[in-house]
Amino acid sequence: MTTGGGSIQSIRRVKSGGSAEDRARVAAEIDEACRRVGFIQILGHGIPTATTDAFASAMDGFFALDLETKKTFIVPGGSNRGFTPPKAESLSLSLSLGVESATRMNDFFEAFNVGASASDFPALGLDPHIYAENLWPEVDGYQTAIEAYFSEAARVARSLTDIFAAALGLEAGFFDAVTDHSIDVLRMNNYALPPGSIDLDGDLIGMSEHTDFGIVTVLWADRVKGLQVLGEGIWHDVSPADGALLINLGYLTARWTNERWMSTLHRVKPPIVDGTIARRRSAAFFHDGNADATITTIPSCVEPGAVPLYPPITVGEHIARKLAGSRAGTRNESAEREAARVVAAGG
């Protein structure tokens, strides 16, 4: 893990308060990191250790249940809520590569998703499929702990978009109008295989290479190795510092900024310790924007006379294309540029 020329940039503070000088310094550091790698770790985020400890314990409580019990929390019909069993997705298919020849899903993580629901915004009449209601397993303290962490992660994500606006030279509050009913989803991941149940065949992977879909992701992870990010054509191993959060940009931000800021390709390789696959946990808070918001290239990110790299798209349409790729193998024609980066890196 490095802070210069490598895979990840460290930022000590992310608070949007402080002196004008402090805010300008942080904005400049964020701009540099987003131009170079788009993957950052932050300290001083303000989430209490007690909150993250309770959150991790709640995650453990659910994932410790037997598989048949966990499967009762699968939500039919493609809703982005509830339980995802192992090998039910292949996130590389959210790009446009490999779909034609894909015959099986190889990502062995299991996950549980919660998110912003239509009932959280009763006056807006939001689509109940996109803003689905949450399921809450009967695990001691589960809902309380998850909701507490969700609220804190949402605060961090919104602080970051305030800093993003400053870093891009935009007016304060630029992101507010497109995130006031954001599709926010918290995906809790568990990478574990029963001992002796599977031989690694070269195809099996914890989570295949992909970029996140939306604006920004706030990632809590334990310090077990496995996460890799693509930087300068090389896959770099990444583990968070003690108490740090990992932050990466989503593909909508790359579209918005005309690739001035890049969405970071990342993957999770099987975390092998002493010849066996170790258990690894992470939780990604996806701050994706309002489903009905249209993402149009920021004019200041386009050179005079140049044509933007991407046409306008709504957040909802973009997310739907990504999910259709990762879960149903539908070719995502709008992700050609992402796929080319993976191919160029030998991914």
Give the helix/strand (H/E) hosting 32: helix 20-36
What integer pLDDT is reported at residue 136 of this predicted model? Answer: 97
More confident residue, 196 or 176: 176
Question: Which residue is it, tokens 């879909």?
Answer: 213
Pairing of strands 9-11, 39-42: parallel
Burial of 103 per CB tally in 10 Å (0-12, 13-18, 19+): exposed
Closest CA to 315 of 334, 288, 283: 288
CATH topology of domain 9-89+103-316: Jelly Rolls (2.60.120)
pLDDT confidence band for 305 (50 / 70 / 90): very high
What integer pLDDT is reported at residue 96 of this predicted model? Answer: 42
Question: Are 209 and 269 in contact, with CB atoms under 8 Å apart?
Answer: no
Bridge partners of 237?
228
**Backbone φ, ψ for residue 109 (5° rounding):** -70, 155
Question: Are 137 and 50 in contact, with CB atoms under 8 Å apart?
Answer: no
In this predicted structure, the answer to whether residue 65 has a pLDDT above a threshold of 50 is: yes
* pLDDT tens-place string over residues 108-142: 789 999 999 999 999 999 999 999 999 999 999 99
CA distance 77 to 86: 18
* pLDDT tens-place string over residues 272-302: 666 667 788 999 999 999 999 999 999 999 9
3-state SS track over 213-267: CCCEEEEEECCCCCEEEEECCEEEECCCCCCCEEEEECHHHHHHCCCCCCCCCEE
Question: Which residue is it, tokens 């001083």?
Answer: 44
Closest CA to 158 of 131, 134, 182: 182
When pLDDT is averaged across residues 68-75 and rounded to a whole number, the result is 95
pTM: 0.86
When pLDDT is averaged across residues 162-177 and rounded to a whole number, the result is 95
More confident residue, 197 or 317: 317
* pLDDT tens-place string over residues 255-277: 999 999 988 888 888 766 666 67
CA distance 245 to 236: 17
Closest CA to 8 of 222, 246, 198, 191: 246
